């Protein structure tokens, strides 16, 4: 019976995220094209995640949020029927890759349903945020959570967890976490779709990417998996913009980028850092119209300000995690910068970095690409992201006030994991530059 | 045709390796045959930080919840020497909702100071973990 419920849960995810207003009318009758269908699917996902998030800003319970969400889905569905394109959304010609991806979701779901344990951070912070929403609490009632580290963290992941738990066929908390499994597979599918190769090879690469990156501990309620998912989508959209930079970048791509950045801002504090790193790189180095860069940068900045204002309005604290960073005085900062600390951080830094399969894959492709003419230039913006990301991680640890080794042992792996999908872009570029037999 | 066969063999091999590495068939069978409570206890018994009636005691707390159909979290006291998280979340209530008329004791031993006279012992696991209900005339 539980297995049937798990299957039904997967069906719900597929149906819900397949429904949405067509991103452009010309595309409506073209959804049998696999990549167009993926564009629509990603767009639906981010419209829906942001809709749920925005509804929570109005201090309403998830019962009401879910009712409005269902109404949105219903209106979209009626619209799709009206314009006679419902078939294109649900009949998947040429979509073997999607069926395969959904099967992989099922494998992940079974693992989550079997393994069940919640991770340390999850038991300390995230589950109580989830329970707040699950028990009809609102953004304001987050104030009732125990004070201390993490109590005021952003909450998108917990909101989704609670919603898809409360309105699911399974009464237990893990049902909400199944959504992470679904989004994880779709995010890797989105990267796989960028490979210029046959469908069978795409399926092979998808299963390899999942094999390299899947570990249950990332699905135990911690939010690093959501960062991973969002960075994967962000990488795909950024890659598309980079490729299209000589042509015209569509407004849709900019909107999607803004929606992904907003999701990052509301997931974890480092999500905000990643969002700003990426939009800064796009603004500085990409050849797109100035007005679009302006819209992008100002929108994400405004969304970040909105988060601060909302937190202040509801009496929540948006400051940096007080467990680990307390003293930012010049004297304290200077005292923290020591050779000994730098060596300790470097040791854990490189050890964790070389434990990341995606980083090793990216590094191999990067070294190999030295011998391919002009290819290395294509990674230009990725280098910047990686260098700024590494600097951010290094700075965060050097400025920490908690026991450094304890923090490194428990956090640095997850930080690298969250940002690792970007290394796959190096692989994608390298693979596409080679003329493999397909 | 030859290439297609090679691709198919590669694909099937990778899928089988993935499924095997994740013990998919075993997990599928266990999810099919075991109920959530049993899997939950088993998962936490295997967990480094927890167990059935030791460390954070997820297994015992969950068993009490199921056995006595408890909806509101009892007060949970863990006497372990190490600082342990208290998994109130198992009861799926809000953090602030705790019924202190009921108490769950974990890792108790006779050296610990606890006044049992004020409570009715409803469940006792090896004199180490208890589920207690406050007697009507009991005071804090």
Supply φ then ψ for residue B104, to 5 degrees. Answer: -115, 125
Domain spans, chain B:
2-33, 50-134
Q: How many CA atoms lie within 13 A of B39 on its CB side?
A: 22
pLDDT, tens digit, 9 for 90 and up, residues B87-132: 999 999 877 788 889 999 999 988 888 888 889 999 999 899 999 9
Q: Which residues does chain A have within 8 Å of residue B35's beta carbon, measured at their own beta carbons?
A: 2
Average pLDDT, consecutive stretches of 10 residues, N- to C-terminus, chain A (438 residues): 93 92 65 72 95 96 96 92 71 75 96 94 89 92 74 88 94 95 96 91 95 95 95 93 76 93 94 94 87 92 95 81 67 77 89 90 87 74 88 87 82 90 91 73
In the prediction, which pLDDT does B31 show?
A: 95
The beta-carbon neighbor of A173 closest among B22, B31, B92 is: B92
Distance of alpha carbon B47 from alpha carbon A12, whole angstroms? 31
The beta-carbon neighbor of A117 closest among B11, B43, B89 is: B43
Supply φ then ψ for residue A59, to 5 degrees. Answer: 60, 40
Q: Are A48 and A16 in contact (CB under 8 A)?
A: yes
Whether B19 has a pLDDT exceeding 80, the answer reads yes
Instruction: Check: pTM over 0.80? Answer yes or no.
Output: yes
Whether B140 has a pLDDT exceeding 50, the answer reads no
The closest of B17, B39, B12, B44 to B27, measured between CA atoms, is: B39
Alpha-carbon dihedral A84, A85, A89, A95, rounded to 10 degrees: 120
Strand-strand pairing, B119-125 and B129-134: antiparallel
The closest of A318, A260, A262 to A142, measured between CA atoms, is: A318
CA distances from A438 to A166, A197, A396, A432, B6 (A): 45, 6, 44, 12, 11
The first and second tokens of residue A30, run together, are: 């073209």
Cβ-proximal residues to B126 (8 Å cutoff; 6+ apart), any chain:
B53
The first and second tokens of residue B36, run together, are: 């959530």
Q: Are the beta carbons of B43 and A3 separated by less than 8 Å?
A: no
Collapsing DSSP states into helix, strand and coil, what is residue B76? Answer: strand
Q: Which of A113, A114, A148, A209 to mutate to test the interface with B (most CBs of B within 10 A)?
A: A114
The first and second tokens of residue A354, run together, are: 């070389």
The closest of A303, A209, A195, A307 to A257, measured between CA atoms, is: A303
Core vs surface per residue A73-83: b (16+ CB within 10 A) or e = beebbeebeee
Rg (CA), chain A: 21
Q: Which residues does chain B have within 8 Å of residue A109's beta carbon, measured at their own beta carbons?
A: none
Q: What letter does residue A141 receive in the DSSP assignment?
A: G
Which residue is closest to B16 within chain A, CA to CA?
A207
- Residue bearing tokens 């990674």: A379
The beta-carbon neighbor of A114 closest among B18, B39, B92 is: B39
Distance of alpha carbon A68 from alpha carbon A312, whole angstroms? 26
Whether B9 has a pLDDT exceeding 80, the answer reads yes
Mind spelling out the 3-state secondary structure of chain A?
CHHHHHHHHHHHHHHHHHCCCCCCHHHHHHCCCHHHHHHHHHHHHHHHHHHHHHHHCCCCCHHHHHHHHHHHHHHHHHHHHHCCCHHHHHCCCCCHHHHHHHHHHHHHHHHHHHHCCCCHHHHHHHHHHHHHHHCCCCCHHHHHCCCCCCCCCCCHHHHHHHHHHHCCCCCCCHHHHHHHHHHHHHHHHHHHCCCCCCHHHHHHHHHHHHHHHCCHHHHCCCCHHHHHHHHHHHHHHHHHHHHCCCCCCCHHHHHHHHHHHHHHHCCCHHHHHHHHHHHHHHHHHCCCCHHHHHHHHHHHHHHHHHHHHHHHHCCCCCCCCCCCCCCCCHHHHHHHCCHHHHHHHHHHHHHHHCCCHHHHHHHHHHHHHCCCCCCHHHHHHHHHHHHHHHHHHHHHHHCCCCCHHHHHHHHHHHHHHHHCHHHHHHHHHHHHHCCCCC
Q: Which residues does chain A have within 8 Å of residue B3's beta carbon, measured at their own beta carbons?
A: 437
Which residue is closest to B18 within chain A, CA to CA?
A211
Distance of alpha carbon B51 from alpha carbon B59, whole angstroms? 6
In the prediction, which pLDDT does A105 show?
A: 96
The beta-carbon neighbor of B7 closest among A111, A118, A201 is: A201
In the prediction, which pLDDT does A315 show?
A: 86
Which residue is closest to B5 within chain A, CA to CA?
A200
Distance of alpha carbon A30 from alpha carbon A283, whole angstroms? 32
Q: Which of A5, A103, A120, A123 to mutate to test the interface with B (most CBs of B within 10 A)?
A: A123
Residues B17-33, mean pLDDT to the nearest whole number: 95
Q: Are A438 and A201 in contact (CB under 8 A)?
A: yes
The closest of A364, A162, A101 to B89, measured between CA atoms, is: A162
Distance of alpha carbon A38 from alpha carbon A178, whole angstroms? 20
Distance of alpha carbon B10 from alpha carbon A428, whole angstroms? 20
Q: Are A373 and A329 in contact (CB under 8 A)?
A: no
Which residue is closest to B15 within chain A, CA to CA?
A207
Cβ-proximal residues to B23 (8 Å cutoff; 6+ apart), any chain:
none
């Amino acid at each position: 019976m539980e297995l049937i419920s798990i299957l039904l849960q997967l069906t719900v995810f597929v149906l819900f995220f397949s429904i949405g207003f067509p991103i452009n009318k010309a595309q409506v009758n073209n959804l049998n094209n696999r990549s167009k269908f993926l564009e629509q699917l990603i767009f639906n996902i981010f419209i829906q995640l942001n809709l749920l998030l925005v509804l929570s800003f109005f201090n309403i319970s998830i019962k009401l949020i879910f009712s409005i969400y269902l109404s949105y889905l219903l209106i979209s569905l009626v619209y799709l029927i009206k314009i006679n394109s419902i078939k294109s959304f649900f009949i998947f010609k040429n979509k073997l890759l999607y069926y395969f991806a959904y099967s992989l979701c099922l494998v992940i779901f079974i693992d989550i349903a079997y393994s069940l344990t919640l991770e340390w951070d999850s038991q300390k912070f995230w589950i109580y945020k989830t329970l707040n929403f699950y028990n009809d609490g609102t953004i304001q009632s987050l104030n009732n959570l125990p004070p201390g580290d993490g109590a005021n963290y952003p909450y998108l992941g917990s909101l989704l967890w609670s919603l898809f738990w409360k309105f699911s066929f399974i009464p237990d908390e893990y049902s909400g976490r199944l959504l992470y499994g679904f989004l994880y597979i779709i995010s890797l599918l989105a990267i796989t779709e960028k490979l210029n190769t046959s469908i069978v090879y795409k399926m092979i690469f998808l299963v390899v990417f999942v094999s390299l990156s899947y570990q249950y501990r990332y699905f135990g309620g911690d939010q690093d998996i959501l960062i991973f998912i969002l960075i994967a989508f962000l990488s795909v959209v950024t890659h598309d913009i980079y490729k299209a930079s000589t042509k015209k970048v569509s407004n849709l791509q900019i909107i999607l980028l803004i929606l992904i950045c907003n999701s990052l801002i509301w997931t974890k504090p480092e999500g905000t850092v990643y969002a700003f790193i990426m939009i800064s790189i796009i603004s500085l180095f990409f050849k797109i119209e100035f007005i679009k860069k302006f819209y992008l940068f100002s929108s994400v900045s405004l969304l970040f300000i909105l988060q601060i204002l909302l937190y202040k309005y509801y009496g929540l604290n948006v400051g940096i995690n007080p467990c680990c960073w307390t003293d930012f005085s010049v004297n304290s900062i200077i005292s923290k910068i020591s050779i000994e600390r730098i060596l300790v951080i470097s040791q854990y830094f490189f050890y964790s970095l070389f434990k990341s399969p995606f980083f090793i894959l990216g590094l191999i492709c990067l070294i190999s690409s030295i011998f391919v003419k002009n290819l290395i230039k294509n990674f230009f913006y990725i280098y910047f992201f990686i260098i700024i990301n590494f600097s951010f991680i290094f700075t965060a640890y050097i400025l920490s006030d908690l026991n450094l080794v304890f923090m490194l042992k428990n956090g640095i792996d997850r930080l690298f994991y969250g940002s690792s999908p970007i290394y796959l872009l190096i692989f994608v570029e390298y693979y596409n530059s080679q003329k493999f037999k397909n | 045709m030859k290439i297609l066969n090679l691709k198919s063999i590669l694909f099937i091999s990778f899928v089988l390796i993935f499924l095997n590495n994740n013990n998919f068939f075993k997990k599928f069978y266990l999810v099919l045959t075991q109920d959530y409570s049993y899997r939950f206890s088993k998962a936490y018994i295997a967990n480094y930080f927890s167990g059935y009636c030791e460390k954070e005691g997820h297994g015992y707390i969950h068993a009490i919840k199921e056995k006595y159909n408890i909806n509101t979290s009892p007060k949970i006291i863990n006497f372990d020497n190490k600082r342990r998280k208290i998994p109130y979340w198992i009861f799926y209530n809000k953090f602030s909702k705790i019924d202190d008329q009921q108490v769950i004791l974990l890792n108790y031993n006779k050296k610990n100071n606890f006044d049992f006279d004020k409570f009715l012992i409803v469940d006792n696991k090896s004199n180490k973990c208890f589920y207690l209900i406050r007697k009507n005339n009991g005071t804090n």
